[in-house]
Structure 1
Amino acid sequence: MALITISGYPSSGKTQRATEIKEYLEHKLQDPSYQGPQLKVSILSDDILGLNRSAYNESRSEKPARGALFTAMQRQMSLDTVLIVDALNYIKGFRYQMYCAAREMKLRVCTVFVVASHELCREWNLARQDGHSYAPETFENLLVRYEEPSSMVRWDSPLFTVMWTDQSIPGEGIWDAITKGNVKPPNSGTLSVVKAPTDALHTLEQTTASMVSAIMIESASMQGSAGPVTLSLPSSPSLRPRIILPPRNLTLSELQRLKRQFVTVHKKAITLGTTEKGSVNWGEESIASKFVEYLEEHIKP
């Protein structure tokens, strides 16, 4: 249904605000006037996952911790859940990654920026008695590295800023964002990549090479006259592609050049994968058909 990303300085009161948001949304969902789908509201945090604040002491421990948070988020995201991710989420690249995951699931999103002054955050961090305080050096490092959310970028929007002096959260705005906001479709950056079969490169090379040889034979027999011909491929007797030849003799160098161009383009799709919808056919018949279209488009009369 929705992903709510909480972001803020260390010890700025994010968990308290996340709890307030959860309580507000649950109250709205239980209201008799609500006629929407049955939803549950869940909070995901470092504490719930058992991730110690010491994980932020150095990058080699922080990256796995952030990965664990992201993996847990992906598992819990669903169309019947409002998921509140209560964590630092201080890196804009990580917030973008979360945004992309939500788009792939077709969820609504919003970001809540919990703000408190540096001095107040330091005071609250030192006063913590629950074992969840940050080491002083780590705390100062996180303050310096923090990348504030911005309403100008799509992955932080809509953005709600909650100051430490605010008595309540902007509940109605958050409610509208997760129930009425636009659901953005997945783009090429969020679609899963379809991998080609392991023999695709071999099939591509063999099929196009056989077709070049067959075209040279047919072109020579036609002696420069134009018209459609059916190609016979020794490597695939059942495959008989048809191509319209131009009114002139084709040269081997010309066909080899066009073959190299065609193979180069399709090699990228094979090695890097493709985000085309549905299954991608890398069989001989499909490759032959595409190569015929390519040749007919690029062979000059």
Structure 2
Amino acid sequence: MPLILLAGYPSSGKTYRSQQLIEYLNQKIASSDDAKVKRLKVQHIDNQSVGLSRDVYAAAKPEKDARATFSSAIKRSLNRDTIVIADGMNYIKGFRYQLYCEAKAVQTPNCVLHVGTPVDRCRELNDAALQAGTGGYEPEVFENLVFRFEEPNGMSRWDAPLFTIPYDDAEPPGEAIWEAMVGSDGKAKVVRPNAATVLKPASEQNYLYELDKATSDVISSISVWQQDHPGEGGGEVAIPNAEQKVTLPATAPSLPQLQRLRRQFIGLNRQHTLSKSRILDLFMDYLNDNFQR
């Protein structure tokens, strides 16, 4: 069943909105006459439920380990009878992309609920929680998380469908989320996995070599195209051994930007085995989605 991913600034009220959504979904399930809907359950996963504290965001290594713990808990919970609400920071688009792949691999839909609390209000709430001793992030950690927050974009497949709830709204858009994730007929929407998102444990020899080489070949092809078309914005780059093309944005990406996206992609797919053709397809999809932003 669906994965509902919350995203927002620290202290934006994600857990409060999660509880509102849980209450709405449970009411929908309880009031339904459909046996398939009746057997659904809602599972809320947050840092506390998986044993993580706010301190993990103070350093890169514990934060990385915390994301792995959070992701594993979500992956274990995804099944046909559970609506999973992932209530975490989820502020890195690469991490949201990873969870999108996990949901698609088990053929379940996902969406993102962006808690749109303004940063100044989040800062006030965070300071008040710190002073009251009821939670909150240390000021330096809070500011760092705000700086690194990558706002969800409904044009990116991993952030779509995207629902935003402004701070002043009384309730999250429960009906719209139910319709998009479960459907008015109570039948969960089925997502068909494709070659680019069916993830399997790594087992092939030389897989990391192929992952490194295939992604490097794509970056090289883009760099050659840019050298042949100096100062030209946009354009489609043909990649050897791939049917689709990379569509460049109007403002040409620099080589450091391309290499950063390559490193992110390799980090996301290091533990999975994909044939070289699938690596190309998935990496080109990843680049095209990022270039749309």
Determine the structure 1 residue equivalent to 2:29: 29
Q: What is the root-mean-square deviation in Å for CA atoms of aligned residues?
A: 2.2
Partner letter of residue 115 of structure 2? V
- In the alignment, which of 191, 195, 210 is matched to residue 198 of structure 2? 191
- Separation (CA, whole Å) in 2 of partners of 1:25 and 1:55: 31
| Residues in 2 aligned to 1:158 and 1:70: alpha-carbon distance in whole angstroms | 20
| Counterpart in the other structure of 2:265 | none
Would you say the 8 A contact 1:52–1:132 is kept in 2?
A: no
Q: Distance in 2 between matches of 1:22 and 1:161?
A: 17
Which residue is 1:233 aligned to? none
Partner of 1:112: 113
Aligned pair partner of 2:155 in 147, 152, 159: 152
Aligned-partner Cα distance in 2 for 1:196–1:49: 32
Task: Give the corresponding residue for 1:46.
Answer: 47
Whether the aligned pair in 2 keeps the contact of 1:192 and 1:275 (CA below 8 Å) is no
Superposed, 1:109-188 pairs within 5 Å as 109-128=110-129, 129=132, 131-180=134-183, 182-188=189-195
Find the aligned partners of 1:44 and 1:107 in 2 and give their Cα distance: 17
Equivalence map 1:186-265=2 (5 Å):
186-193=193-200, 195=203
C-alpha distance in 1, partners of 2:134/2:170?
A: 27
Aligned counterparts of 1:196 and 1:44: Cα–Cα separation in 2: 33
| TM-fit CA distance, 1:8 | 0.4
- The 1:22/1:273 distance shift into structure 2, 3 A limit, reads closer
Q: Distance in 2 between matches of 1:130 and 1:177?
A: 39
Normalised to the residue count of structure 2, the TM-score between the two structures is: 0.65
Q: By how many angstroms is 1:189 displaced?
A: 2.9
> How far is the alpha carbon of 1:152 from its aligned partner?
0.6
TM-score normalised by the chain length of structure 1: 0.63
Aligned mates of 1:111, 1:130 — CA distance in 2:
30
CA contact (8 A) 1:195 1:274 kept: no
- In 1, are the aligned partners of 2:104 and 2:198 still within 8 Å (CA)? no
| Residues 199 and 274, structure 2, Cα contact 8 Å, conserved in 1 | no
Give the Cα–Cα distance (whole angstroms) in 1 for the partners of residues 106 and 150 of structure 2: 26
- Where 2:49 maps in the other structure, the secondary structure is coil
| Inter-CA distance 12–105: structure 2 relative to 1 (3 Å threshold) | same
Answering whether residue 72 of structure 2 is matched by residue 71 of structure 1, we say yes
Distance 1:196 1:159, change over 3 A: closer
Alignment CA distance shift 1:126-1:273 (3 Å): closer
Identify the residue that residue 252 of structure 1 maps to in structure 2: none
Partner Cα separation in structure 2 for residue 91 and residue 32 of structure 1 = 36
1:222-257 deviation line (CA, Å, top 9, x unaligned) = xxxxxxxxxxxxxxxxxxxxxxxxxxxxxxxxxxxx
- How big is the shift at 1:60? 1.2
Distance in 1, Cα, partners of 2:27 & 2:181: 15
Amino acid at match of 2:102: A
Kept in 2: contact 1:113–1:161 (CA 8 A): yes
Question: Which residue of the partner structure matches residue 19 of structure 1?
Answer: 19
Q: Partner letter of residue 25 of structure 1? A: L
Does the residue aligned with 1:51 lie in a helix, a strand or coil? coil
Opposite residue 140 of structure 2, the aligned amino acid is: E
Contact 1:195 1:273 in 2 (8 A): no
Aligned residues: 203
Segments of 5+ residues of structure 1 without an aligned counterpart are: 199-271, 277-301
Say if 2:12 and 2:116, in contact at 8 Å, map to a contact too.
yes
Contact 2:165 2:173 (C-alpha < 8 Å) held by counterparts: yes
How many Å apart are 1:94 and its aligned residue? 0.2
